[in-house]
Each structure stands twice: as C-alpha cells, then as structure tokens.
Amino acid sequence: MKPWRLFLTLLAAVTLLGSSGPDERQVTNPKSIQSATNPGAKAIPIDELFFTRNVGGPSWSPDGAEIVFTTNLTGRDNLWKVSASGGWPIQLSQSDDREYGAVWSPDGKAIVYSSDLGGQEYFDLFAIPGTGGETVNLTRTKDISETGGNFSPDGSTLAISYKPKTSPTPDIALLDWRTHAVRNLTAEKAKDQLWGFVAWSPDGKSIYANRTFVGFTDSAVYRVDVASGQRENLTPHQGQVLYFASSLSADGRTLLVTSNEKGGFNNVALLDVATKKLTWVTDTKWDASAGNFAPQGGKFTFVINEDGRTDAYLANRDSGQPEKIAFPAGLTFPDGNPTPFSPAGDRLLMSHQSAKRPADLWIYDLESRKARQLTYSAIAGLDPANIPQSELVHYKTFDGKVISAFVWVPFNLQRDGSNPGIVLPHGGPTGQTVDYFNREVAALASRGYVCIAPNVRGSTGYGMDFQRANHQDLGGGDLQDEVHAARFLVDTGYVDAKKIGITGGSYGGYMTLMAIGKTPDVWAAAVEEYGIINWFTMLQHEDPLLQEYEKSLLGDPVKDRKVYEDASPIQYLPHAKAPLLVLQGDNDIRVPKEEAEQVVATLKAAGGIVEAHYYPNEGHGFSKRENQIDAIQRTIAWFDRYLKNPPH
C-alpha cells in the first residue's frame, strides 16, 4: 500500500475510535436508579456461584487442534485441555496449588506452566507431556520465582521472568530447554525497574522487552541481544511516559505498542523497529491497549476499555479500518499465550464475561465473523435472569471530580430508605473495577444489599492525571470518593444511611480500615480482607518489589515520614465504631499476616468489635474453593448481623 493511502486508513481509524472519553461522562441522577421487578428472584445459592468455574489462560497447540487452559473445575486451578472443535475437557494435571500460564512447546510434545506452594508466590516452572503424564519441575528454586514460558523460534530456550525472594526486580532470564540451566539476561541494577518479556526476534538473536517503573507511570521498549545482554532503547523519551510493547509482527518489522504519549491517555500505536517511529492506530481518551499480531501477515488485535467495559477490535497494519469483534456488552478480549491467534491465523481465542455471565472461552472464525462458545463454566441452575444487573453510574465527589461506579440493585426493593447498602473499594490502588462476573456481589445483591463499586482517584482507565491524583494522599481524597459513593446509595432513596457497610481486599482492605477509622460515622459494619494497617510495618515485612511500589505511591519513608503516618489506618482505627471482620491468608507476601494481627490487637485495645479468621495455605487472595465459600459465608453472616439485624 502507498504511504499516503496507509495514512488515510489510519486516519479513519483515529476518527472512528477517538469520539469520546472520560470528559464526556454525565452525572447520574440517583433517583433514576431502579429496582427491577422479578417475581422469581431469590437468594442465589452460594454453591451455585462458587462451583461455577473460573476459566482462563488458554494456549493453542502447534497444530491448532487442541487448547490447554486453567480452570478450577475441581476447586483447584489446574491445567485442562479441550479439542478446538469442542467437547468435554480432559484434566492434564492435578495439584493442590494453582497452576497457570500454560504454553505448548513448538513441537507439541510438552506444556510448560507455573505453580507456587500454598499461595506464597514463589513460583517454579513445570513441564508436562502434551498428552498428559508425569510433571517435571524445571527450576526447583525455593527462593526464586520463575514464571512465563516463552519458547525461542527453534524451541531450544525459554525466556522467563526471574525474581529472587530478596530482590525487588523481576528480570528476564533464559532457561536452556535441554539442561534446564538458567542465565539472567537483563540483570537490572535499579531497584524500581521491572522487566517484562514481549517477543523473540524471528532469528532468535534478540528479545523485545518492556522496562517499567514500579509505579507504572513510565516505561520503555527495549531490544536485548541474547548473546551479550546489550540493550537498545526503542522508545527514548523525556519525562514520564508509558510505552508498552505487546507483540512483534511475523516479519519482525513492527511492534504493537500501548502508549500514553498522547495527553496521558493510553492509545495503540505501531512502532517501526528500524526507524523507532510510531504510527498511531487510535486517538481516544478511553483506555486503549495493544493486543497481538497474527502469525502471518499484518493483522493485529487491540482492546478499548470504555468506563469498565471492553470491546475487542481487529485491524491490519497495511490496510483497512479496524473492525469491532461483535460480542454482547461486558468484558471481551482476545486471550491466548503467547497469542490468541490460531497457528494458521484463521481463528481467535476470545474471553467474554459480564455481570450476569461468568467468563468463558470462545473461538472466533475470522472468515465467517462468527463466534462459537468453547467452554461452559456456569452451573446449570445459575439463571442469569435472577442475577441483578450492573448499572454504570457517575457522581461528583467533594472537589468536583466525576467518579465512575458500578451499582447493583436487588430485585423487588421498595424505595423507602430502609435497605442496607455496601461500598466495595477495589485493590491496587492502580486498578479498576470492571464489569465482570462478580460472585461476591451476586451473593450480596441477591440477598437484599444495594452494592456500589467506585473507581476512585488513583484508579487506572481514566488517564494518568487521574491515576496520579492520590499520590502521597492515600486514604485522603480517594477515601472521600468512597464516602460520596455511600451518599449516592442513600440518594437513590433505597438505602438507609445507618445501614451502610464497606468491604474490600488488598488496597480495598486498606480503604476499608481507613474508612471505619477516619470517617467512623458513615459505616455500620465492615469486612476487610488482607488490608494494610501500617505502611511502616508493611515496609518491614512485605516483598521487596512491593516495598518499591509503596515508595512510588508515598515517597521516601524517611523524608516523607508524615505522609506515611497520615496514610496509615493504625492512627485512626481506635476511633472506629463499625464492627469489623478480618479475613487473611497465612502465606501472604504482599500484605503479610502481621498487618491483620495488628488490626485485631488495635481494635481490641480500643474496645471495638472485631473478629478474625486466617486461612492456612492461602496467600494474597483465596484460590481454594472451600476458602472462597467460607469467606463469602462469613461476610454475609457479618453484614446480616450488623446491617440487617443490628443489635440494640
């Protein structure tokens, strides 16, 4: 194609995909929120929600005939495989621990995957025959975490992520497929930089990789020589700008890149490897992210996250306007390791879910433009009609910023201000609540709780300025955004201001602690999962990588001591009035058990109501089905006791 014609087609894509953004959000009238009528509605059985499986992490076999993926069909995240034409999946591996990141060897004889022990996140790499059989531990390193299996073109070497327990830096290492010997390739010296593999060059002599600041405000794309480790920056820039490569074209000429160079908003671009020039594919203020190139030709995928719901697109490097891949509203994206494209390039593996339907894998035929469901994860009795629908709302917070949130209203409620409500802060804080199949929310909303999950300042998905708006102010403006979410619930007319709870995990757990301590009169009950109480003790006990992440948010713990003190719930928690339930994994290296123990001790000393439950063989989040069920049952019982039937 002639250069001018390529420019025009890309300009058309920009026009198509650059029509809106966060600035155009309109504030929602709380009274417009409705409780739908459903005579058949009832509390959804917990078992139906949690025996509905998780499905993800698929990988095509080299011949395109089979797909390996991770599912918790047995209550554990193990490897299964299924024919690409459909049918009952076959279990490949059995372990009490989670297994993920499966990828086939180029000859199809083996599948490589990662697994840790008891949720402690020090992963080893394993291999299992593609037909099933005995597993082999390829790394056997107790204090080094190895993940990712990215085979070189000739199949002789694996590029892996390599992080010693005592190091803050994930590096890229090379594992010899025959001897299992490992060599650290990037050997990063800076404590605040992370390396992530992107692709091998077609000749296997170079690796393309991302080098990212731990605070996720700056990154660059590099080409690294495999023999010498010499690196070349392909996206040199001044200041903090994100450049993330995700895929290399089959001819090795072009990298597919996500960058926020355009005004701080993530957009998709094509990076010419030889000239280092970017050609933009999108121009939007919504969150666009690059996907993968097809194994032949110039086709590629990308995704646009518009306010917590995603759509997938198919484009061509050399011609044509991007086309949307047709799926219902929700979360839709191409999914596959190392690529969602089939080896022949004629099919795409897709993941799709929504508030009413759990995630499943689909196969999208590129010629017919039709999708076929491959996995069926929902329990038969789980009727989508009986799951309250998510509703996207917007409200203004204390300083005029517009906050996006998802709201779930139970069926058949009276607008009489008598119902309980729950605010659900997300983790991160560099994260986002999206419109996914949320088992916990479905359990709560179907039992009469009006739920709201806000994307407060510090969230991703709304540009870098918004992401950085809570810098050195954790538990400040973002907490007020949560408080205004509670006010939105009351303003709907459905919720009693004296019956509002709050619950979250990780940073959501931290926010829960800050909320009940710093704004004690807003909350009537709380459940926190693995939340931070003291940023200073976190620095002493957490993984070194998380220490650097913490510093990127709060600053230097010596120079900025007051920032750390003001952001630590421990100084506010004695003022809490809400009864608190604490849920924690014993092996958590992100938010160690010591944090939960401090929460309990602090509240007991202050005369507060607090209970705690600890889960052995769990880390940051609960992966074992029986523990997931136990946690939601305890949560519901706690809120029932203190919100629905408060003691007098």
pLDDT at 646: 76
d(CA 34, CA 494): 9
pLDDT at 320: 74
Please check the confidence at residue 307 and state whether its pLDDT lies above 80.
yes
Please check the confidence at residue 5 and state whether its pLDDT lies above 80.
no
d(CA 66, CA 36): 43
Backbone dihedral angles phi then psi of residue 574, each to the nearest 5 degrees:
-60, -20
CA nearest neighbour of 72 among 58, 84, 87, 56 = 56
- Is the torsion defined by CA of 636, 641, 642, 644 positive or negative? positive
Token pair for 415:
């607008």
d(CA 171, CA 158): 13
Task: Classify each residue of 280-307 as buried b or exposed e, where b means 16 or more C-beta atoms within 10 Å of its C-beta.
Answer: bbbbbbbbbbbbbbbeeebbbbbbbbbb
- Which CATH superfamily, name and number, covers 381-644? Alpha/Beta hydrolase fold, catalytic domain (3.40.50.1820)
Strand partners, 593: none
Q: How far apart are the first and last CA of the chain?
A: 76
Over residues 157-208, the pLDDT tens digits come to: 999 999 999 999 999 999 999 999 999 999 999 999 999 999 999 999 999 9
According to DSSP, the β-strands at 331-334 and 136-137 are unpaired
Over residues 401-429, the pLDDT tens digits come to: 999 999 999 999 999 999 999 999 999 99
Strand partners, 104: 111
The mean predicted confidence, pLDDT, of the chain is 94
pLDDT at 318: 86
DSSP string, 494-508: SEEEEEEEEEEETHH
Over residues 457-468, the pLDDT tens digits come to: 999 999 999 999
C-alpha atoms less than 13 angstroms from C-alpha of 184 in its C-beta half-sphere = 13
Mean pLDDT of the 443-465 span? 97
- The number of beta carbons lying within 10 Å of the beta carbon of residue 7 is 12
Token pair for 424:
């659900």
pLDDT at 648: 63
Sequence ranges of the domains in the chain: 381-644
Mean pLDDT of the 109-132 span? 95
- The number of beta carbons lying within 10 Å of the beta carbon of residue 473 is 17
C-alpha atoms less than 13 angstroms from C-alpha of 4 in its C-beta half-sphere = 0
pLDDT at 9: 33
pTM across the whole model: 0.94
Q: Using a pLDDT cut of 70, give the percent of the chain over it.
A: 97
Task: Classify each residue of 121-134 as buried b or exposed e, where b means 16 or more C-beta atoms within 10 Å of its C-beta.
Answer: bbbbbbbbebeeee
Maximum C-alpha span of the chain: 78
pLDDT at 343: 97
Over residues 479-520, the pLDDT tens digits come to: 999 999 999 999 999 999 999 999 999 999 999 999 999 999
pLDDT at 65: 98
3-state SS, residue 14: helix
Token pair for 262:
């355009």
pLDDT at 617: 92
Please check the confidence at residue 131 and state whether its pLDDT lies above 60.
yes
Angle, vertex CA 539, rays to CA 525 and CA 600, nearest 5: 30
CA nearest neighbour of 52 among 410, 409, 443 = 443
356-359: long-range contacts, CB 8 A cutoff, minimum separation 24: 356/384, 356/387, 356/389, 356/437, 357/330, 357/384, 357/437, 358/52, 358/53, 358/54, 358/55, 358/437, 359/54, 359/55, 359/56, 359/331, 359/436, 359/437
Residue 71: pLDDT band with limits 50, 70, 90: very high
Over residues 521-550, the pLDDT tens digits come to: 999 999 999 999 999 999 999 999 999 999
Mean pLDDT of the 280-291 span? 96
Of 2-16, 88-102, 310-324, 359-373, give the lowest mean pLDDT range: 2-16
d(CA 211, CA 190): 11
Please check the confidence at residue 6 and state whether its pLDDT lies above 60.
no
Over residues 8-49, the pLDDT tens digits come to: 233 333 334 555 799 999 999 999 999 999 999 999 999 999
Please check the confidence at residue 121 and state whether its pLDDT lies above 80.
yes
> Which residues have C-beta within 8 Å of that of residue 195, sequence separation ≥ 6?
161, 169, 170, 171, 172, 186, 188, 209, 210, 211, 212
d(CA 594, CA 341): 45
3-state SS, residue 601: helix
pLDDT at 94: 94
Strand partners, 290: 302
Task: Classify each residue of 164-185 as buried b or exposed e, where b means 16 or more C-beta atoms within 10 Å of its C-beta.
Answer: beebbbbbbbbbebeeeebeeb
Q: Are 185 and 174 in contact (CB under 8 A)?
A: yes
- Give Cα 598 to chain centroid, integer Å: 28
CA nearest neighbour of 81 among 89, 72, 70, 93 = 89
Dihedral through CA 609, CA 615, CA 621, CA 623, nearest 10? -140
- The number of beta carbons lying within 10 Å of the beta carbon of residue 369 is 11
Q: Are 584 and 530 in contact (CB under 8 A)?
A: yes
pLDDT at 1: 32
Mean pLDDT of the 140-165 span? 95
